[in-house]
C-alpha cells in the first residue's frame, strides 16, 4: 500500500483523509510514476463536493502532476524509466476513463499519450502547476477562432488559467492589445505577465469601460457582465459551468501530451512562465489547508502540493523487473526498503 489523500463520500474538504491506497500496476500503454509535485484545480473540489462524475470510492483527487517514471507497460515507446515527466492524468471529457487514483498519491499510473517530458528549466513544482490550466487556456483560443492582431479582454487575469491566458495572448497568439481584470493587490502582478492594461474590478464597473474587444475570455464565470465589453460579433468564451449568458460559449480542454510538448520552446525560453501562488507550495500533509485556500477563489496562479512522501523512493526500478513493467510486489519491496 501507499499513502494517498482520499475520500469515501462526497462532501466538503473535511471528508478528505490521509490513508492507504493500493499501489497500481501499469497497463500496456501506461507509465508508473513517482509523484514529486501536484497542483489542485477547482474541478477537484467540484468532483469531491457532488457526484458530477460517476466513480467508485475511495477517490484520490488530483489531475496535475510532475514526477519520475518508475516503470512502463510493454507498448510504451516514448519514455523510459528515470525520465522526468509532467501532465494532466484525467480526461474529464471521457467520463468512462476517469481514474479512481488521482495525483495526490505517492505513485500513480497514466497513459503515455497524456504526458510530456518536463522542460529542464522547470522545477517539479512549476511543471505540475501547468497541464490542466494551460490546456484549458489554449482550448479557449481555439474555441474562439482567435486571430493574430485581435484584441482580448481577460476576466480574471490573476487566477490559475487567467495568468496563462494573458501570457499566451501576448507571446503565442500575437494579440494586439491585452486587457485583464483583477483586484487591487494584483494589478502590478498581472501587468508583469504581459497585460497592456489592467482593470481593477473593485474600482471600475464594466458599464464604465468604453472600449470594446475582439474576444472576451472569461475564466471566472462573469460572462453576463463581461459581454458589455465585447464587440457585437465578438466571441465570449466561458470556462465555467453553468454559463451565465446565452451569448457565451463553453470551452473545456483537450488533454494531450503532444500539446504540452508544443509549448516546450515557450517554456524553455521563458516567454511562458508557470505561476505558483506565493502561499505555497503546500506540504503533502497540508492538503486540506491547500483546498481551503483554493476554494476561497483568491489564489494567484496555481496551488501546488510538494514535497511528497515518495521523495525518498529511488528514481528507478529493479532491473530484474520483467518487460519493464513494475509489479505490485516489486514496488512494495522498493517502498519498504
Domain with residue 204: its CATH number is 3.40.50.720
| Confidence at 330, pLDDT banded by 50, 70, 90 | very low
| Confidence at 96, pLDDT banded by 50, 70, 90 | low
CB distance 35 to 65 below 8 Å = yes
Rounded to whole angstroms, the Cα distance separating 126 from 39 reads 9
Rounded to whole angstroms, the Cα distance separating 26 from 28 reads 7
Tell me how crowded residue 202 is: count the other CB atoms within 10 A of its CB.
11
Res 90: pLDDT? 93
Note whether 162 and 60 are same-domain residues.
no
pTM of the model: 0.90
Burial string for 41-54 (b: 16+ CB within 10 Å, else e) reads bbbbbebbeeeeee
Res 171: pLDDT? 92
Could you give the C-alpha distances from 118 to 108, 124, 176, 264, 307, in angstroms and in order?
A: 17, 8, 31, 9, 17
- Is 326 a residue whose pLDDT tops 80? no
Rounded to whole angstroms, the Cα distance separating 31 from 324 reads 10
Is 300 within the bounds of a domain? yes
Could you give the C-alpha distances from 269 to 92, 183, 248, 296, in angstroms and in order?
A: 31, 29, 34, 33
C-alpha cell recorded at residue 331: 514496488
C-alpha cell recorded at residue 6: 482520499
Res 32: pLDDT? 97
Mean pLDDT computed over every residue of the chain? 90
Q: 205, exposed or middle or buried, with CB in 10 Å at 0-12, 13-18, 19+?
A: exposed
Which tens digits make up the pLDDT trace of 175-219?
999 999 999 999 999 999 999 999 999 999 999 999 999 999 999
Is 179 within the bounds of a domain? yes
Interval 120-144 mean pLDDT: 96
Note whether 119 and 145 are same-domain residues.
no
Please state whether the peptide bond connecting residue 307 to the residue before it is cis, i.e. omega within 30 degrees of 0: yes
Note whether 89 and 171 are same-domain residues.
no
| Across 28-42, 107-121, 135-149, 245-259, least confident range | 245-259
Note whether 125 and 159 are same-domain residues.
no
Note whether 227 and 167 are same-domain residues.
yes
Rounded to whole angstroms, the Cα distance separating 66 from 53 reads 24
Q: Beta strands 30-40 and 303-305: pairing type?
A: antiparallel
User: Which residues have C-beta within 8 Å of that of residue 127, sequence separation ≥ 6?
Assistant: 37, 66, 86, 118, 119, 274
C-alpha cell recorded at residue 258: 503532444
Is 299 within the bounds of a domain? yes
| Across 56-70, 86-100, 169-183, 305-319, least confident range | 305-319
Q: Where are the alpha helices (DSSP H) in 84-237?
A: 124-128, 131-144, 162-171, 187-193, 223-226
Domain that holds residue 138: 133-250
Is 321 within the bounds of a domain? yes
Is 295 within the bounds of a domain? yes
Residue given cell 480542454 in the structure block:
253
Res 311: pLDDT? 59
Res 91: pLDDT? 82
Is 279 within the bounds of a domain? yes
Which tens digits make up the pLDDT trace of 296-308?
999 999 999 999 9
Is 26 within the bounds of a domain? yes
- The CATH number assigned to the domain holding 289 equals 3.90.180.10
Which tens digits make up the pLDDT trace of 220-238?
988 778 889 999 999 999 9
Note whether 282 and 234 are same-domain residues.
no
Is 257 within the bounds of a domain? no
List residues bridging with 116 in a β-sheet: 86
- Structurally, the chain folds into a number of domains equal to 2
Amino acid at each position: 500500500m501507499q499513502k494517498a489523500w482520499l475520500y469515501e463520500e462526497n462532501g466538503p474538504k473535511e471528508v478528505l483523509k490521509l490513508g492507504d491506497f493500493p499501489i497500481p500496476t501499469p497497463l500496456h500503454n501506461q507509465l508508473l510514476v513517482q509523484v514529486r509535485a501536484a497542483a489542485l484545480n477547482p474541478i477537484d473540489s467540484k468532483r469531491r463536493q457532488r457526484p458530477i462524475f460517476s466513480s467508485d470510492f475511495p477517490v484520490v483527487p488530483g489531475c496535475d502532476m510532475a514526477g519520475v517514471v518508475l516503470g512502463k507497460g510493454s507498448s510504451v515507446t516514448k519514455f523510459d524509466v528515470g525520465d522526468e515527466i509532467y501532465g494532466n492524468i484525467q480526461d474529464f471529457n471521457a467520463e468512462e476513463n476517469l481514474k479512481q487514483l488521482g495525483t495526490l498519491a505517492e505513485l500513480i499510473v497514466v497513459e503515455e499519450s497524456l504526458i510530456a517530458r518536463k522542460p529542464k528549466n522547470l522545477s517539479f513544482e512549476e511543471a505540475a502547476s501547468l497541464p490542466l490550466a494551460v490546456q484549458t487556456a489554449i482550448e479557449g483560443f481555439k474555441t474562439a477562432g482567435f486571430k493574430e492582431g485581435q484584441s482580448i479582454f481577460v476576466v480574471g487575469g490573476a487566477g490559475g488559467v487567467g495568468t496563462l491566458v494573458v501570457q499566451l495572448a501576448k507571446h503565442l497568439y500575437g494579440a494586439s492589445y491585452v486587457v485583464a481584470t483583477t483586484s487591487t493587490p494584483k494589478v502590478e502582478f498581472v501587468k508583469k505577465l504581459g497585460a497592456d492594461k489592467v482593470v481593477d474590478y473593485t474600482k471600475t464597473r464594466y458599464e464604465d469601460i468604453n472600449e470594446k474587444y475582439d474576444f472576451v475570455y472569461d475564466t471566472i464565470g462573469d460572462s453576463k457582465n463581461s459581454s458589455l465589453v465585447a464587440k457585437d460579433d465578438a466571441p465570449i468564451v466561458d470556462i465555467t459551468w453553468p454559463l451565465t449568458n446565452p451569448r457565451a460559449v463553453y470551452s473545456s480542454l483537450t488533454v494531450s501530451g503532444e500539446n504540452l510538448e508544443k509549448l516546450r520552446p515557450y517554456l524553455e525560453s521563458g516567454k511562458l512562465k508557470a505561476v505558483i501562488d506565493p502561499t505555497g507550495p503546500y506540504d503533502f500533509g497540508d492538503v486540506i489547508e491547500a483546498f481551503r485556500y483554493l476554494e476561497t477563489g483568491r489564489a494567484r496562479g496555481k496551488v501546488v502540493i510538494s514535497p511528497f512522501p515518495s521523495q525518498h523512493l529511488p528514481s528507478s526500478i529493479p532491473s530484474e523487473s520483467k518487460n519493464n513493467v513494475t509489479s505490485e510486489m516489486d514496488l512494495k519491496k522498493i517502498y519498504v526498503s
